[in-house]
Every structure is written in structure tokens, then in C-alpha cells.
Amino acid sequence: MPLKELDFRKSGIDELADVAIIINRDVENIGARRLHTILEKLLEDISFSAPEKKGEKVIIDKEMVSKNLGDIVKGKDLSNFIL
């Protein structure tokens, strides 16, 4: 049984929106397509490790988003978000 569930908390959704706004402002405003790229980056490790997380629930909250995307927002690697 692979990963059971992704639980998006309001704080996580708000933080994802903030990250998308910041990167759209600082790189190029491509709207919702930016959010798609950010979600791919956020969920990359979870996607690859899902088979080992048998039946687990992963909570996507502000802390998780900040931990996984914080360096990107600080401008360390915005090149990954240019489409």
C-alpha cells in the first residue's frame, strides 16, 4: 500500500500562494502555471518516497512548505522556476 493521503492545511495553502506570488513578482508573472511548478517541487520528494510511506498521511502545512521551498523564496535558485 503506497502513501495514503496528502492533507493540505490552510496554512500550507496560504504559504504556497505566497511563494507563487513572490516568484511571479521576481521572475516573470506566468500566473497559475507558476503554482503548478511550485507544487511539483514541493511534492517531488514525497512522490519518490511514497511507496515506502505505506498508509501514511503527509501534512502540508506552513512549516513543511517553508522547509522545502524556503531557499527558493530567498532567491538562491529561482532558475528552476523559469518556464
In a domain, 25, yes or no: yes
Burial 7-34 (b: 16+ CB within 10 A, else e): eeeeebeebbeebbebbbeebeebeeeb
pLDDT, greater one: 17 or 3: 17
pTM over the 0.85 mark: no
Looking at the structure of the chain, the number of domains it has is: 1
Whether 41 maps to a domain, the answer reads yes
The verdict on residue 83 lying in a domain is no
CATH number, domain at 9?
1.10.8.60
Q: Tell me: the pLDDT tens digits for 21-67?
A: 888 888 777 777 778 888 998 998 888 887 777 778 899 999 999 99
Structural domain of residue 40, as residue ranges? 5-76
